[in-house]
Amino acid sequence: MAFPEGFLWGGATAANQCEGAWDVDGRGPAKTDVTTGGTVDTPRMITYRMPDGTEGAMPQWGAKLPEGAKYAVLDNYLYPNHDGIDFYHHYKEDIALFAEMGFKQFRMSISWSRIFPKGIEDEPNQAGLDFYRSVFEELKKYDIEPLVTMWHFDTPLYIEEELGDWKNRETIALFDKYARTILTEYKGLVKNWLTFNEINNTVSFLGMMVPASDEEFQDAYQHLHNQFVASAHAVKMAHEIDPEYRVGCMICGVVDYPLTPDPDDILANRYMWEKSLFYCGDVQCKGKYGTYAKRLWDEHNVHLDITEQDLIDLAEGPVDFYTFSYYQSSCVTTHQGAETTAGNMTIGAKNPYLEASDWGWQIDPKGLRYILEVMYDRYEKPMMIVENGLGAFDELVEGEDGQLTVHDPYRIDYLREHIKEMEIAIEHGVDLIGYTTWGCIDLVSAGTGEMRKRYGFIYVDKNDDGTGSYARYKKDSFDWYKKVIATNGADLD
Ligand code: BG6
């Protein structure tokens, strides 16, 4: 049996994509609340208002807010994250379904602006604290361990707009306050934490879709540095507050391969791994920047504000375990004219050996084994895959028992093949301790804002136009995953 006893099977979500209740019980807005829906071909838009009242919208990636503009929720636009799947009011029902599947672990995030609506308040919002306490208590009833992400792309909008977001060092202290609050509040209810979701996206994705200036790279690397320091503080704080706490990093695990054996492609691929994967993982796991960091900064004339104390803090706050998301792989080449392919926060050269999902993400189970083995060898820390899954179109139909359901063999196939590779990696010595599939219940897509890009074992009746009853239905994959968990991964049929 490859999977160790106590293996943490489960599923993952993020507050902004599932909770809804965006302005309920004192919650403040985040960027996701001024982001509209999109599709695979049309980008999500961010809406704003000019001082003279003129309204506008700009694409989510690569555009800058016009001088003087303020983010704004406008009439005539649809903001899918406002309602999410209304987990805020359905969490008891949802957790009962997770328990029925046998979840050992549920990954979720805390919305920072539910706790500190603007991020700058001295006192936390009690209603926000109470909500997460109720969720954790509900999980405890079923012996499901929460795995809690502190930040899942949702800085309070006030910090983003008025303070300059993460490129301002002041944000570190505001995050420290938030982290201390939740680490203190939920002692005894939570054991495992993650600091920043897919922290590496800030730099690895920059310049891929739309060219980026040196100034943007400067801001992005500074943003990351400040998050590294905040993450190290959170790790130290967690260990002081409760020695039982374990804190992990969370990296967007896009695997790249060289497209050709041309030595230039081999080198370009290595440099891609350094930039997009090792840069963040090294700082968070080893407590210091890798040797190649200076080369990456020099490429864009970046000069970082790094204090002596920052270096001490980084060295004192390495994470306890390594986690990552994994959906797909792509290729790197220096050759002109190669066909490109989209992916999770990435764009790369198309791999002729792989099939792709309906959203063009190349499906590559062996890539999961590859990254597990490389990263375990590099850091020798326990690992978790905290996102993996297939975003697909699902059709709600009447099942044999007369209940509405979804027949989703494509999802089962995808997950089965990835779990098989996890098993091999464990046999090869990787200390893999957990697996939470992404969007275990359907939720709003981060990339496109769609509902119809569904990942869940549980179908949620909500449509892209905002209509729907929010009723939950079990898909075929629900029973399949239940069996996988019950047999600790031995029965994947
Ligand atoms: C990761 C994020 O990038 O991938 C999630 O951590 C996101 O928030 C997931 O939802 C899948 O991406 P998408 O665009 O299909 O929602």
DSSP states along 102-118: T-SEEEEE--HHHHSSS
Flag whether 35 is in a domain: no
Sign of the alpha-carbon torsion through 273, 275, 276, 278: positive
Quick one: pLDDT at residue 333?
Answer: 96
Residue 40's pLDDT band, with cuts at 50, 70 and 90, is confident
* 138 part of the active site: no
pLDDT for 344 beyond 80: no
Structure letter (DSSP) for residue 350? P
Give bridge partners of residue 97 from the DSSP assignment. Answer: none
Q: Name the residue with the closest Cα to ligand 1, atom 10.
A: 446
Q: Which atom of ligand 1 is nearest to the CA of 198?
A: 6
Active-site residue, selected from the candidate residues 145, 387, 421, 450: 387
E-strand spans in 6-50?
A: 8-12, 45-49
Reported as type and span, the H/E element at residue 178 is helix 170-185
Flag whether 268 is in a domain: yes
Q: What is the mean pLDDT of residues 164-177?
A: 97
Tell me, using a 6 A CB cutoff, whether residue 198 lines ligand 1.
yes
Q: What is the mean pLDDT of residues 249-260?
A: 97
Quick one: pLDDT at residue 20?
Answer: 98
pLDDT digits (tens, 9 = 90+) for 72-113: 999 999 999 999 999 999 999 999 999 999 999 999 999 999
Using CA atoms of 213, 215, 219, 220 in order, give the dihedral in degrees to the nearest 10. Answer: 20
Tell me, using a 6 A CB cutoff, whether residue 390 lines ligand 1.
no
Residue 64's pLDDT band, with cuts at 50, 70 and 90, is confident
Task: Report phi then psi at 366, rounded to 5.
Answer: -65, -25
Flag whether 302 is in a domain: yes
- Residue 1 makes CB contacts below 8 A (sequence gap 6+) with 488, 489, 490
Reported as type and span, the H/E element at residue 285 is helix 279-286
Q: What is the mean pLDDT of residues 182-203?
A: 98
What CA–CA distances, in Å, run from 377 to 160, 383, 426?
A: 37, 11, 12
> 470: domain range?
8-21+81-486
Q: What is the mean pLDDT of the chain?
A: 97
Rounded distance from Cα 153 to ligand 1 centre (Å): 10
Q: What is the mean pLDDT of residues 183-201?
A: 98
* 387 part of the active site: yes
* Number of structural domains found in the chain: 1
Q: Which atom of ligand 1 is nearest to the CA of 359?
A: 15
Assign residue 282 the CATH number of its domain: 3.20.20.80
Flag whether 233 is in a domain: yes
Flag whether 446 is in a domain: yes
Q: Name the residue with the closest Cα to ligand 1, atom 14.
A: 447
Quick one: pLDDT at residue 378?
Answer: 98
Q: Name the residue with the closest Cα to ligand 1, atom 16.
A: 445
Task: Report phi then psi at 194, rounded to 5.
Answer: -125, 140
> In degrees, to the nearest 5, what angle opens at C-alpha 115 toward C-alphas 8 and 239?
50
Quick one: pLDDT at residue 290?
Answer: 97
Q: Which atom of ligand 1 is nearest to the CA of 439?
A: 10
Rounded distance from Cα 445 to ligand 1 centre (Å): 6
Flag whether 410 is in a domain: yes
Quick one: pLDDT at residue 168?
Answer: 97
Tell me, using a 6 A CB cutoff, whether residue 445 lines ligand 1.
yes
| Among the ranges given (264-278, 343-357, 375-389, 399-413), the one the predictor scored with the smallest mean pLDDT | 343-357
Dist. CA 322–CA 380, nearest whole Å: 9
Which of 325, 328, 357 has most ligand 1 atoms within 8 Å of its beta carbon, as the pocket-test mutant? 325
Tokens of 433: 């301790």
pLDDT digits (tens, 9 = 90+) for 11-36: 999 999 999 999 999 999 999 999 99
Q: What is the mean pLDDT of residues 427-452?
A: 98
Dist. CA 202–CA 112, nearest whole Å: 19
Tokens 């864009």 correspond to: 300
Active-site residue, selected from the candidate residues 198, 421, 423, 450: 198
Tell me, using a 6 A CB cutoff, whether residue 37 lines ligand 1.
no
pTM value is: 0.97
Flag whether 284 is in a domain: yes
Residue 449's pLDDT band, with cuts at 50, 70 and 90, is very high
What CA–CA distances, in Å, run from 245 to 137, 146, 322, 426?
A: 17, 12, 15, 24
Flag whether 271 is in a domain: yes
pLDDT for 211 beyond 90: no
Q: Which atom of ligand 1 is nearest to the CA of 455?
A: 15
Which of 200, 252, 387 has most ligand 1 atoms within 8 Å of its beta carbon, as the pocket-test mutant? 387
- Residue 132 makes CB contacts below 8 A (sequence gap 6+) with 110, 114, 182, 185, 186
Residue 42's pLDDT band, with cuts at 50, 70 and 90, is very high
Which of 40, 411, 438, 443 has most ligand 1 atoms within 8 Å of its beta carbon, as the pocket-test mutant? 438
